[in-house]
Amino acid sequence: MKGLIKKDLFMLTGNWKYILICICIFGFISLDGSQMFYFIPVFICTMLFISTFSYDEYNKWDIYACTLPKGRLQVVRAKYLANLLLVGIAIVVTYALAFIIGTIQNNLDISKINELLFGCLFAVILLQSVMYPLIFKFGVEKGRIGLFVGVFGGGLLLGWLINNVSLPLSSGFIMFLTNHLIPILILAMIGMLIISYQISKHIYLKKEF
Amino acid sequence: MKQAIEMKNVVKAYDSGFRLGELNITIPSGVIVGLIGENGAGKTTMIKSLLNVIRIDQGTIRIFEQDHQQQESKIKEDIGVVLDQTFFPELLTPKEINSIMKDIYSSWDQKFFFQYLKDFSLTVDKQIRKMSKGMRKKLEIATALAHHPKLLILDEPTSGLDPVVRNEVLDLFLDFIQEEDHTILFSTHITSDLEHIADQIIFINQGKILLNQSRDELLDSYGILKCPLEQMDTIDTQDYIAYKKNRYDAEFLVTNRRAVQKKYTDSIVDPASLEDIMVFMIKGVRK
């Protein structure tokens, strides 16, 4: 699996300079007090990582991967882990830059940075968890359309539920959620990743090329 | 003798109507087997079935006398693969491929890999997308050989290569087969390649095996009988398996050319090449 993680990261090595330029641009914007900077590197890394699926598809890599020992299982694991690794690196870099900029501007707010990056991590993991099974099932293009339909449809459904259904949530339950938000979100992220990985694994192990 | 590949009653059917099988093939260790057939005949489907890239609907496949699904990982450690139009993404370099593969194959031999690259005059830092077709194919072959496999499965490994490179590659396969437990399954359109190196020929058409014979036997016994059109009816139907009518003459594919030559002394019976056999069996009128 280490080999396949390397493969995905090697494919992105040509993009490091673009990532660096983006970080510099958004770092510059954030000097103005904008917090957009905190989200951008992580999302850029995730979107860039999704491009590895396109390269794989273009070169029919999946067929070749299936001829390797433990190929199928390793492909799925490697995709999840390599993306998480990349997101981890992006968070560390963003954190370091946010710290430097905050210190220079004398307005360092560690808890604010933590909140923003945590929210960013949650969004990226949600995106990855929904998108990967779709990509493994339908390919990159159809997977993107599936994601769009899913997000749009899900948003509509959620909006309709909020407006039309009054959920019997007790104030005690809401208080519990508020007090334990971080551990709940961490558990939700782990849960999403495990479920998403299992679905992707199931799809890919049965897929024919 | 140990069996390298054994396919029993293998069937794979697609919604499009194409059906591979039933295939019953046994390939012993230590031979080069040529798989021939026209486009869409089922060669790649057969290779993909062997490699478990596609799931068979029926039958059993055993490689190195082990079930190809139950022992998949173990078996694949000993298989080297060159497939048509599928390899590592083009952004990678041979050096990166080495770094990846040494973590995938327990027996990956990087010295051997770099030696191949050197022998093939390939640059280690050059991206695949910047390589010519011949260079890519050489890289694919070096990658297939660098973990010291016992079985090479090659799908069109020489297509698109110039004659010089093709000969280099064929010599490499002949070197590989020197070890007695090494086996090659080689699918190609270029039947002349197989006439040089194959021990056994499997001819597949519309998903079915039409021929599975030793190369020497085929080239020694098959022939083309030629006669004028007006004498066509004098040829006994038992003496040929397919015929072709040309403008002025007719040609018959015969399976025992010496006996046929003795019988029809006025006609010419030339030895048949693999290409002749393939063309007659696909395009000729079969009795």
Decide: A82 and A45 in contact? Cβ < 8 Å. Answer: no
Q: Which residues, at least 6 apart from B55, have a Cβ–Cβ distance to it below 8 Å?
A: A206, A208, B12
Q: Which residue of B has its CA nearest to A2?
A: B103
In the three-class reduction of DSSP (H, G, I as helix; E, B as strand; rest coil), residue A148 is classed as helix
CA triple B212-B218-B220, angle to 5 deg: 160
Q: Which residues of B touch A208 (CB under 8 A)?
A: 53-55
Cβ within 8 Å, pair B99-A11: no
Q: Which residues, at least 6 apart from B35, have a Cβ–Cβ distance to it below 8 Å?
A: B43, B46, B47, B185, B186, B187, B188, B202, B204
Ranges of each domain in chain A: 2-206
The residue of A11, A13, A59 whose CB has the most chain B CBs within 10 angstroms, and thus the best one to mutate to test that interface, is: A59
Q: Does B238 touch chain A (CB under 8 A)?
A: no
Q: Does A18 touch chain B (CB under 8 A)?
A: no
Query: Rounded to 5 degrees, what are φ and ψ at B17?
Result: 105, -15
The interface predicted TM-score of the complex, written ipTM, equals 0.89
**Nearest-CA neighbor of B113 among B155, B80, B87, B151?**
B80
From first CA to last CA, the distance across chain B in angstroms is 37
Distance in angstroms (rounded) separating the CA atoms of residues A16 and A22: 10
Distance in angstroms (rounded) separating the CA atoms of residues A28 and A140: 33
Q: What is the reported pLDDT for A36? A: 65
Token look-up 């020489």 returns: B158
Q: What is the reported pLDDT for B21? A: 79
The residue of B15, B18, B49, B53 whose CB has the most chain A CBs within 10 angstroms, and thus the best one to mutate to test that interface, is: B53
Ranges of each domain in chain B: 3-218, 222-286
Can you name the residues that pair with B187 across neighbouring β-strands?
B35, B155
In the three-class reduction of DSSP (H, G, I as helix; E, B as strand; rest coil), residue A146 is classed as helix
Which residues does chain A have with pLDDT short of 70? 30-36, 167-169
From first CA to last CA, the distance across chain A in angstroms is 21
Cβ within 8 Å, pair A59-B96: no
Token reading at B122: 């390939």
Nearest to B91 among A11, A64, A70 (CB): A11
Q: Which residues of A touch B72 (CB under 8 A)?
A: 69
Decide: B222 and B272 in contact? Cβ < 8 Å. Answer: yes
Of the CA atoms within 13 Å of residue B148, those in its CB half-sphere come to 9
Q: What is the CATH number of domain B3-218?
A: 3.40.50.300
Q: What is the CA radius of gyration of chain A?
A: 19
Q: What is the reported pLDDT for A188? A: 93
Q: Which residue of B has its CA nearest to A56?
A: B89
Which residues does chain B have with pLDDT short of 70? 1
Decide: B183 and B30 in contact? Cβ < 8 Å. Answer: yes
Q: Is B30 left (phi over 0), alpha (psi -120 to 50) or beta?
A: left
**Nearest-CA neighbor of B97 among A49, A10, A71, A16?**
A10
Q: Which residue of A has its CA nearest to B14?
A: A208
Token reading at B158: 């020489």
Using a 10 angstrom Cβ sphere, with 0-12 exposed, 13-18 middle and 19 or more buried, the burial of residue B90 is: middle
How would you label B180-192 residue by residue, b for 16+ Cβ within 10 Å and e otherwise? eebbbbbbbebbe
Size of chain B, expressed as the number of residues it contains = 287
Decide: B215 and B200 in contact? Cβ < 8 Å. Answer: yes
Token reading at B231: 């004498």
Decide: A101 and A30 in contact? Cβ < 8 Å. Answer: yes
Q: Which residues of B touch A10 (CB under 8 A)?
A: 91-92, 96, 99-100
Size of chain A, expressed as the number of residues it contains = 209
Q: Which residues of B touch A74 (CB under 8 A)?
A: 104
Q: What is the reported pLDDT for A35? A: 67
Amino acid identity at B86: T
Q: Does A61 touch chain B (CB under 8 A)?
A: yes
Q: What is the reported pLDDT for A31? A: 67
Q: What is the reported pLDDT for A137? A: 92
CB-based contacts of A201-205 (< 8 A; 24+ apart in sequence): A201/A73, A201/A76, A201/A77, A203/A133, A203/A136, A203/A137, A204/A72, A204/A75, A204/A76, A204/A136, A205/A72, A205/A73
Q: Which residue of A has its CA nearest to B54?
A: A208
